Amino acid sequence: MSTDFRAIAATNQRRSVGLLAASVLLLWGVGNLIAWAFGAWSGSTDWWITPVVIAALAVGYLLIAWSMSARATLRLSGAEPASPEMYPVLHNVVEEMCIAAGMNKPTVWVIEDPAPNAFATGMTPDRSAVAVTTGLLEMLSRRELAGVIAHELGHIRNRDISITTISVLSAAAIAVLADVAFRAGQVVLFTSGRSRNREGQSGAGLGLALMALGAVIFIIGVPLSLLLKAALSRSRESLADATAVELTRNPASIRSALEKLEADTTQIRKVTTATAHMWIEAPSDKEMGLTRAFGGMLATHPPLSERIAILRRMEGLDPDERGPNDTVAVRRPLPPPNPASRWRRHP
């Protein structure tokens, strides 16, 4: 097990390339399968034309869908722009990490929520955003916040949102293709059933074959693409942890933050189902359930204990113990609103 953040980063980069290539190749393969079922190779054209056309279609679809993909509507997650007057430490920490990373400062947002979490979003480093919850500011010290921000900036710099979007689009396309094949098979079967000559019988065979193909793609291709997507996401999360260490040059900052997150059980209130967010910790119960199902193969994040163990080894600490953690938080929690008060409480 490597204790060097550069080696971990390099391993995850290689893994990501393989996983992303596998996602796109799976889509291309499925496209070819369907083309074959529709008789693309039974004609007199050269054998390589269909695969090339399918490849062009796949790339074209990915490019167009990628550029159109939901401008991560930050406000859906309840985020408000963080004003520098109200959140000076947050802005300073983000700017410090941007200097360390050599990148331009993304827009900074805050979510009013007691659950500690943070995310980064944006397709290119120049049009990105980073958001934190008020719960996170009340839990972490300046140093630990720097670790979390460095992790999120790592996502932006490494273009993780863009990369995982491609694998999500591939998975979506495979599901659609499975559906198309199945329904086309149903239509062919139905129309051929009306005729009684030999053409009708071969039509019935084609129809059943298409339906079978659709079912196979659905049963094998869709889970496979989801597994690839989850594995890719986990790999990018590990890479982001390594980037956090690279930027802060201090594994303790992100490690201590993750330990505090591990100990906290509050769930974030307004969960967004948008996939274009890279959270520091899985935000929803459904996600948490996924962490344990199938031996964790569908989880988008590696288990917190594993991430913490890797970081503790970097510091030369026992991977199974916890601590030391910082005690002074960036922000003191505001007192709860007094229901007896006549005056409306301003945030």
Partner 1 sequence: MTLLIVIAIVVVLAIIVVVLYNNLVKLRNLVDNAWAQIEVQLTRRADLIPNLVNTVKGYAEHERETLDAVISARGAAMGASTPAAAAAAEGPLTAALGRLFAVAEAYPDLKADTNFRQLQEELTSTENRIGYARQHYNDATTRFNTTIQSFPGVLVAKMGDFGERDLFEADEAARAVPDVQF
Which one of 96, 179, 315, 326 is in contact with partner 1 (CB under 8 A)?
96
Q: Is 97 in the site for partner 1 (CB under 8 A)?
A: yes
Residue 95 bears catalytic tag: no
Q: Considering the complex, state which of residue 83 and residue 195 has its C-beta at the smaller distance from partner 1.
A: 83
Region 234-263 residues binding partner 1, contact defined as CB under 8 A: 247, 249
The catalytically annotated residue of 80, 144, 152, 306 is 152
Which one of 92, 201, 202, 266 is in contact with partner 1 (CB under 8 A)?
92
CB of 5 vs partner 1, minimal distance in Å = 12
Q: Which stretch binds partner 1 (CB under 8 A): 61-69, 89-97, 222-230, 296-304?
A: 89-97
Q: Which stretch binds partner 1 (CB under 8 A): 7-15, 99-107, 184-192, 224-232?
A: 99-107
Q: Which stretch binds partner 1 (CB under 8 A): 54-62, 100-108, 128-136, 161-169?
A: 100-108
Q: Is 140 in the site for partner 1 (CB under 8 A)?
A: no
Q: In whole angstroms, how large is the CA radius of gyration of the chain?
A: 24
Q: Which stretch binds partner 1 (CB under 8 A): 14-22, 48-56, 85-93, 225-233?
A: 85-93
Which one of 95, 287, 306, 326 is in contact with partner 1 (CB under 8 A)?
95
Q: Considering the complex, state which of residue 142 and residue 313 has its C-beta at the smaller distance from partner 1.
A: 142
CA distances in angstroms from 286 to 231, 272, 282, 298, 299, listed in the order given: 17, 12, 9, 11, 10
CB of 102 vs partner 1, minimal distance in Å = 5
CB of 96 vs partner 1, minimal distance in Å = 5
Q: Considering the complex, state which of residue 167 and residue 248 has its C-beta at the smaller distance from partner 1.
A: 248
Binding residues (CB under 8 A) for partner 1: these are 88-89, 92-93, 95-97, 99-102, 247, 249
> Which residues form the catalytic set?
152
